[in-house]
Structure 1
Amino acid sequence: MDHEAVWTSGAAGRPCAGPEEVVRMVRDAARAEPGGRVEVLVVSCELCGSGADGFEVAKGECFCVGCCIPVGITDGDVYPAAYPWTLAPSGVPLPPASPGPGFEPSDLPECPAGDGVFQVAVALSFAQDGAVRSISVGLRCPQDGALCLYVDNAHVVAAAA
């Protein structure tokens, strides 16, 4: 089963006005373990400063359009207090992780209008002991409000040291 980006419009088929709908989408996708919790954040680039919320998506990672630094979805940098991780295959296919056999330009997400820069929201599911268990990543096109659940509740596995 291949990873496929499925896009939806904002509320009632209209573009949404801000990141609230993508935050709601990733919060709804995240599944907390009993006794665990879910944290949701809208991603912005600390290096580029306030309001730097435009990201291009490639190779299963989100890159700031200002400085090209990756967010850290695939390795744990998105949440500095966590340990390094890798994403494990789960019920929904993961985005392609790197160019190579089977990697096509069509694997790079674009909204239905053809835009490739997105606002990004991340939901992390934590176990009762505070360990990250899964991640969901949502994309929102600021041009037309289209939404996509890019990573759907992917399991997180601690990376080998």
Structure 2
Amino acid sequence: MKKIAIVVIGLVVLASCQEKQRYTQQSPEIDSFKKSIEAYEKADWATMKSFYADTAKIEHNVTKDKAVSIDKLIEVSKEDTKLFSNIDFIDSESEYEMVVTDNGETWVNFWGDWKGTLKATGEEYILPCAITAQFVNGKIVREVGFWNNTKIAMDMQKLSAATTAVDSTTTK
């Protein structure tokens, strides 16, 4: 009986010493993040918002001090859908992972290629991007994303200049 008790205590101690899984490619948080991206692709703003905490801070190509709310992100995304058709992330180029930091924070990392077609010109753009989202109690509380949209900005500037030139020519 003593031997059984010692073995049981040993197993309990051993089990308590094992670390919680800190890296995975399958988790409820990853599933939520995928669904939030699918909602973005479909311009389903209410569903997209449901994955974020009301106090979430979004840092897309900005520093923490310039973070915006989920409502502002949706407002900007709505403007994007006016400019672009076929907004999508290419599934075959998308990767997700979840990590738990040394401080116990849960983050989902995403790498993928965003694709959109500019309605004014029909030109298709593909932008590699990296987005990471911190989850607390199943909701995104902070999201940080990086991508280079310089080509789009330059093309939009050229388009605007060409439109202004045409407008000034026709008014003379």
TM over 0.5: no
Question: TM-score normalized by structure 2?
Answer: 0.32
Bigger Rg, structure 1 or 2: 2
Question: TM-score normalized by structure 1?
Answer: 0.33
Of structures 1 and 2, the one scoring higher in RCO (CA 8 A, sep 6+) is 1
More helix by share: 2
